Amino acid sequence: MKRRVLIIEDNEQNLYLATFILERHGFEVCAAQDGEAGIAVAARIEPDLILLDIQLPVMDGYAVARVLRSNPDLARIPIVAVTSYAMAGDREKALAAGCTGYIEKPINPDTFIAQLEQYLPETVQNNGGGE
């Protein structure tokens, strides 16, 4: 069973790059381009991992993370902030909002998957191949 990742990202180039890398590594990718849509998609598909941009239209990533964490059906899903916010305190702000992890943009294609793997639940990592 493929691991499913939801990317909540409004920048087409960032979305394309992350999707390309993830799909090459066997992930199923779903996307939403604003916070409200991301919350709706997350509730519908219950992904294994959510990649969340912080600077989004409609609702910023901090608010999205708080809403996702308040939903008992989604609260267990790891949320990784993938953002260009890289000032002192930005990582802590993302974690305080409910994110599990934090990756700075621009992402490094050579290390991106390894960075994400640490946030995937153990059972998902072990069953991510073709059974």
Q: What CATH code is carried by the domain that includes residue 113?
A: 3.40.50.2300
Residue 6: the pLDDT is 98
- Please indicate, yes or no, if residue 74 is contained in any of the structural domains: yes
DSSP letter (8 states) at residue 50: E
Residues of the chain with confidence (pLDDT) below 50: 124-131
- Please indicate, yes or no, if residue 15 is contained in any of the structural domains: yes
Query: 20 lies in which domain range?
Result: 4-118
Number of domains present in the structure of the chain: 1
The percent of the chain in helix, strand and coil, each rounded to the nearest 5, is 40, 20, 40
The CA–CA distances, whole Å, from 124 to 13, 36, 42, 77, 127 equal 28, 26, 17, 11, 5
Contact between residue 6 and residue 38 where contact means Cβ atoms under 8 Å apart = yes
- What is the pTM assigned to this prediction? 0.91
- pLDDT one-digit tens code per residue, 30-42: 999 999 999 999 9
Residue 116: the pLDDT is 95
- Please indicate, yes or no, if residue 93 is contained in any of the structural domains: yes
Structure tokens at 7: 């990317």
Contact between residue 101 and residue 78 where contact means Cβ atoms under 8 Å apart = yes
- Please indicate, yes or no, if residue 123 is contained in any of the structural domains: no
- Please indicate, yes or no, if residue 54 is contained in any of the structural domains: yes
- Please indicate, yes or no, if residue 14 is contained in any of the structural domains: yes
- Quick one: how far is CA 16 from the chain centroid? 14
Residue 87: the pLDDT is 79
Q: Contacts for 67-72 with beta carbons within 8 Å, 24 or more apart?
A: 67/39, 68/39, 68/42, 68/98, 69/98, 71/43
Spatial separation of the C-alpha atoms in residues 5 and 73, rounded to whole Å: 16
- pLDDT one-digit tens code per residue, 23-32: 999 999 999 9
Residue 13: the pLDDT is 96
Residue 123: the pLDDT is 52
Residue 126: the pLDDT is 45
